């Protein structure tokens, strides 16, 4: 087998372990979810966006970008964005199916900032992965985790997408147990 693939598999297994530990060791469910999203950004992407709640009324609860972004205001733009204005997150929460995309002819997949500039363009997205946070019942979607790679980063692999889906399942457990599923019962 390919040595690089074996190394990447080991890295992703370690990432899942760190993420699970962050979720179990958080001082509160919301801080645990934020810490886990940050770890997933560190291990998989340049950006991590975490939206919780039903698809009709989600809330963006975490945004983690590069430590030293070229566009310092971009993180604030993602934080200010209502998840209903992020088409890919709306689709994932509505369908319960993951989305893995390379840059498309539609620069509005992430929506736009307050000035109307597409966030895909502003963040220089090269690859996008958005996965649903599916409750243990296997059908209820509690939110979406959207990971972005910028610049010349490689596209997300199937192995990485699988890792993100497993982590999203863990995030969903914490969100549900912590009552962080948005308005109404989880």
DSSP result, 153-166: PPPPPHHHHHHHHH
Inter-helix orientation angle 3-25/29-44, to 10°: 170
* Per-residue tens of pLDDT for the chain, all 186 residues: 789 999 999 999 999 999 999 999 989 999 999 999 999 999 999 999 999 988 788 999 999 999 887 788 999 999 999 999 999 999 999 999 999 988 767 899 999 999 999 999 999 999 999 999 999 999 999 999 999 999 888 999 999 999 999 999 999 999 999 887 654 455
108 contacts: CB under 8 Å, gap ≥ 6: 87, 118, 120
Which CATH number does the domain 3-177 belong to among 3.30.450.40, 2.60.40.3950, 1.10.760.10, 3.40.50.300? 3.30.450.40
Per-residue DSSP letter, 50: E
């Amino acid at each position: 087998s390919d040595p690089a693939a074996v190394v990447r598999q080991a890295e992703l297994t370690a990432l899942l372990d760190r993420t699970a530990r962050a979720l179990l060791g958080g001082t509160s469910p919301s801080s645990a979810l934020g810490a886990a999203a940050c770890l997933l950004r560190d291990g998989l992407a340049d950006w991590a966006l975490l939206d919780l709640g039903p698809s009709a009324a989600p809330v963006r609860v975490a945004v983690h970008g590069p430590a030293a972004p070229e566009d310092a205001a971009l993180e604030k733009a993602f934080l200010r964005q209502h998840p209903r204005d992020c088409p890919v997150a709306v689709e994932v929460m509505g369908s319960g199916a993951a989305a893995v995309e390379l840059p498309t002819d539609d620069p509005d997949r992430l929506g736009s900032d307050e000035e109307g500039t597409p966030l895909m363009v502003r963040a220089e997205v090269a690859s996008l992965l958005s996965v649903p946070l599916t409750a243990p019942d296997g059908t209820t979607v509690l939110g979406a985790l959207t990971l972005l790679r910028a610049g010349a980063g490689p596209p997300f692999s199937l192995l990485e997408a699988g890792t993100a889906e497993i982590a999203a399942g863990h995030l969903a457990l914490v969100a549900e147990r912590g009552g962080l599923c948005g308005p109404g019962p989880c």
